[in-house]
Every structure is written in structure tokens, then in C-alpha cells.
């Protein structure tokens, strides 16, 4: 569960299949050793395909609170300097729109 950090980027691939990508922020709050409340924000990249991507394109915008269920995928590539880079994304299976934003 989190809030969108930007409007989704969406489009159709050459195959005709729809794709939507966006990032969500999740927050975890806890008290540190001094008793002060600390909020830790983590950002997650999300990829939606097909009908879910169509829903995202029509109804999901920056700031919207959503809940997603999916699987983690990690992609690897070499950058310009030849260093191995990795990115992890959530491939969304289900999406639930929350709140009134």
C-alpha cells in the first residue's frame, strides 16, 4: 500500500499489449532510541500489463493511494562503464484504489 509519486507512463507495445509504469512510496513509522517518531519512506517501481494497465491509465494519478499485489522481478544490465546494474520492479497482478484523491 502506498501513494503514487508521479503520473503513470503508459502505452501500447508493438504486440498491442498495454503497459503502464509508475512508482509508489510506502512509509514505515517507528520511534528511535530518543523516543522521537521517525518515518522511513521507500520507493518501489511498479509495472502493470493488459487490463490492469488500462485501469491505471484511466483512473490512477500522482498522489493516489493504492494497494497492489504482485511479484518481484530483478533485471540486470551493463552501464556505459561496463558496471553491472540491477533494478527491481513489482509486476502487479491486482490493484485496489483507495482514498478519495
Determine how β-strand 2-4 pairs with β-strand 65-78.
antiparallel
Summary mean pLDDT of the chain: 93
Q: Say what the pLDDT of residue 99 is.
A: 76
The number of helix segments (H) and strand segments (E) in the chain equals 1, 6
Ranges in the chain, pLDDT < 50: none
Check: CB of residue 79 under 8 Å from CB of residue 87.
Answer: no
Beta bridge partners, 45, equal 23, 89
- C-alpha 46/C-alpha 95 separation (Å) is 11
Q: Say what the pLDDT of residue 100 is.
A: 63
Amino acid at each position: 500500500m502506498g501513494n503514487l509519486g508521479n503520473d503513470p507512463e503508459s502505452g501500447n507495445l508493438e504486440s498491442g499489449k498495454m503497459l503502464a509504469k509508475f512508482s509508489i512510496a510506502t512509509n514505515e513509522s517507528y520511534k528511535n532510541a530518543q523516543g522521537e517518531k521517525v518515518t522511513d519512506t521507500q520507493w518501489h517501481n511498479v509495472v502493470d500489463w493488459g487490463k490492469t494497465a488500462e485501469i491505471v491509465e484511466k483512473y490512477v494519478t500522482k498522489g493516489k493511494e493504492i494497494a497492489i499485489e504482485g511479484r518481484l522481478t530483478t533485471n540486470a544490465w551493463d552501464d556505459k562503464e561496463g558496471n553491472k546494474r540491477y533494478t527491481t520492479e513489482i509486476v502487479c497482478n491486482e490493484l485496489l484504489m483507495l482514498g478519495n484523491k
